[in-house]
Structures are given as C-alpha cells and as structure tokens.
Structure 1
Amino acid sequence: MSRLRGVGPIAWREISTVVRTRGYLLLSFGLLVVFLGVLRGGGGIRGGYVPTAVDLLLPLELLVPLVAVALGYRAFSGDNDDRSVLRTYPVSDRSLAVGVFAGRFVGLAAIVGTPLAVVGLAVSRIGGPSSSVFATHQGVDSPVLFVRFIALTICFGAAVLAMTMAASVLVRTGRATLAAALAVLVVVVAGGDLLALIGLTAGVIEDDLLGTALAVSPNAAYRGLVLESVVGVATDQGGTIDVPVAVAGLAGWTAVSLAVIAGLGRRTVSKIRSRFRIGFERLKDTVPR
C-alpha cells in the first residue's frame, strides 16, 4: 500500500477539476442529445434495451474515444498542464499515474455513463419487446443487459483514456500533444479494423483467425464484446469474436499504457524521444529525394 500512497488526494484533485469544468458538463449533455437523436431516428428505444444498445453501438465507437481524448490528451503535457503542480506531491511516479488516471476515469464514467443511464430510464418507461427479434424472447431483453452494455462502454473508454495519457507523456508542446492524441483517436477508431482488413486481403490473416485479430483492437474488442455478451445473449447468436482475447485486449491496452505512464521518468522520456528522433532521421535519409 505504501507504493500507492497519495493516490487518493491526486484522484480527488482530478475529479474536482472535471467537476469545475463546465465544458465537460456540456459535453455530457451533448452526448445525451446525440443519443436521443440517434434513437429517435433508429426507433431502438421503443424496441427495448437490446435494440437501443444496437442503435447506440456505432456512435459510441466514435464518441467514447473523443471523450477519452478530451479528458486525457493534456494529462501530463501541454502548455496549460498540471504536471508541475502534480510533481509537488510527495508521491512516486506510479502513484501519480494511478491517481491521475483514476480521477479522470471517474470523470469519463460520469460523462458517458450519465446520459446512457438516462437513456436506460427512458427505455424502461416507453420501451418494450416490439421488434420481431425480441417478440419471441419475452423476458430476455432485460435492464441487466443494458447495464452490461454501459459497463463495457466505460471499460472501452478507460482503455482509450489510458492510451491517450500514455501518448501525452512522450511529447512536450501542446501542439505535439494534440497531434499525438489525434493519432491515438485515428488508431482506435479505424486502425484495428483497417489492419485486419489489409491482413485478410493480403492472406496474412486466415478467415478463422479474423475474430481473434479483431479482438486485439480496442474498438473491435468493444464491439465484439457487446455483440457477444449483450446482443448475443438475447438472440442466441454468438461467436462473433474471441471473447477471452477481447477482454485481454482491452485490459492489456489499459495496463500497458498505465505502465508506460508510471515508468516514464524524465530521463526515460528523453531516451525514447532521442530514439524516435534518430529513427526518424534514418528513415528520412533512406527516402529518395
């Protein structure tokens, strides 16, 4: 426990910062408006909890990473960062990383989870198994599945938040921080699916290994877990993804990113930056002009 001493005050400081920032409150309200607009167009809210989750799945694959990037891209760097203040706390790098992540994760859970909870409440009032899929599965479309959907969504956001914070450690200026965060956003939203598609087209990935390959990507792992443990439970249709690999993928991205944050002191960061700079110069020399 002594190794993680000071995590509580740091986490509370981050939570207080999120609470005091009105932009985050507006962001949560904006998510609610988007969710209701999507559901009004798709009609899932009248079908029940699972149709609502299906309608929101694709928008959340884009919106959750956006929220995570907004919360984490200046966690440890940037022109207006709090790193100099946080460094005044008599704690280790590990405690600092865990505390900042914990505080911002609570903020992310509130920003994303609150509008989803409101949607779930609306489904309980006006929804029902009216679709042809769920008409023969009375009682299957339960609020427990929607709670599971919210939990998976927050876990997905935690992985992207940790990745964004890890990227912010490696840069110095605010402009570089924003570029690194956008790179994480692109990789999370489209990188995994694109690489899997390229691998499948090139014959590197076999058809029976596609589910496993997709499970490594955060957004594909999140999508597959929702389809498997929420939609698949209600429709008796599963096998869309390798569940253990997907769980390990989300947990692995989170754990590795936190390890990067905790293990990167200033000296280590300088070494990594130097290696990146040397590698970039070598790559630039190999490109014909």
Structure 2
Amino acid sequence: MNTPRLLLSTVTVNDADFILELLNTPGWLKFIGDRNVKTIEDASNYILKITGGPGTNYFLVKLRDQQIPVGVITFMKRDYLDHHDIGFAFHPDHAGKGYAYEAAKGVLDQLKKDPSHTYIKATVLKDNKRSIQLLERLGLTYEKELEVNERELLLYTIATDKFLIDDLTAHFFSIFTNLPPQKPDWEKIRQICLPQTLIIKKGDNGEDIYDLKTFIEPRREILSDGTLTSFEEKELISETRITGNIAQRFSKYNKSGYLNGEAFETNGHKLFQFVKTSAGWKINAVIWEDEKKLS
C-alpha cells in the first residue's frame, strides 16, 4: 500500500531492529505499555506472535524515497470490541511531519471499500492528547469510556459510510477550485451526484433552482473566462446524520477568490442529502445560502 510519501507493508522478522527500538520509546511505554521486548530475539518473537493471529494486520510504515521505517499502523479485532480497531505508533524522530495521519488515512481509505467493515473503532488513553487529535482529524468521534486491564480508555468510532460521505462532500467542495495549479473538475460532479440531483441557492430575493446542467454551465463559463479567478471553497465544520440508506449533512463553508478582479471572501451554509445506491453513496440534493461577505 502506497501513499504520496509512504510505503506500508506487513511487518516481518526482518524488521525486528526497528520494532525493538519503537517498543522502547517513551511514547510507546507511556501510552501503549511495556511489552517486555528487550532484545532482537524478543522483537522477532513479538512479531511472530502479532502477525500469527487471525484478523490482525500490522503494517510497517516506511518513507518511500529513503526506505526508512518510521512507525506502524495496526488494524485488528480485539476481544473487548465488537468491531476492528485501528492503532498507530511512530518513532519520535519522525514526529510532527504528518506521517501518522497520512498512513492511517491510507489504511482507512482501503478499509472503507470493504463492506465487511461497517464500523471502525480506536482506543486511546485520556492523556494521549496528540492521538486524540489525530483520531478526530481522521473523522472518528468519541463514543464512551471503558476499562481494559485496569486502564481507563476512551473509545472512538466511525461508520465506514461516514467516511464515504466525507469523501463525497470534499469532492463537491473541490470541484470548482481554480486556484493554480488546480482546475475545475466538471466530470467529477456527474460522478458523485445522481443525474436528477436538485440544487437550490437561497438568496435575499428568493430561490434559484437548478438541475446539474443549469448549475454547471454558468459556473463553467465564469471559472474559465477570467471572471472568477483563484476561487476556492472549503468546508469548515459539519454534522452528518445517517439513517439506513439515506443521509444528510449540514456544512458551514468558506469561499474566496477574485470576482472581476476584486477580492472577496464569504462564509455560508450548505445542506446535503445523500442516498446509497447500488453504485454507492450519491448526492441527490444540495441547498446553500451565503452569509454577508466578509470583505
């Protein structure tokens, strides 16, 4: 498995040197626990043990350009959880570079395509603030506290459907970006929306109602003829509710750019509706309303 900067592969006994070092770092000992791995032989036996069980995936993460190991990502079924658990640990020499997020996101992007995994869990100690921040950035949300082996853990969870809806929403917001070097991706909107998708803009003077064709054409023109340049729209906060095969998402967004040569920036709100079809989740309606311009 590859990401832009990283290579993920199943850990083997050939990685015992790195595993020995990683399992004895202060962060591992504090937040995960002492596994009593003190020698290369211990590390090799530990690797054989963790990779020999069913339902266990233990990935070594390396830098693609240098082939240097930097951490591990785990995905396994724990006895005390009803769904698989994702975990991560990275060497302190490589902290603060976004590797943990990139590697975990790469694994989750693969898992969300597997219908056997409807939910993904993660556990973390209360005082492990950096891991909590990473889990929340990945989209997992707090579920409850639980006690495991006399340790108080926080349980985080996400439905894989939520991952897919997050992706759809992110694609929708990015479609119209013409901030160099990116160009609008008009084909993408047809891929993520149903052909009958309803799009409504609420304004001071009423509502503008579009289908896909009438929505795309005027925006294609102003984004290509110099009227609207350096345009970017991004989601700031969101709330998603999923019930069976239908879902809705409330988003607050920010958009900015240059309209007829004048800079502008505006916040607003969007309401998305989604339906899960035989081809996966699709957008079937979007309603938005801009706030007053910030500048």
Assess same fold via TM > 0.5: no
**Which of the two has higher C-alpha Rg?**
2
TM (norm. structure 2) is 0.28
Higher strand share: 2
TM (norm. structure 1) is 0.29
Higher RCO (C-alpha under 8 Å, 6+ residues apart): 1
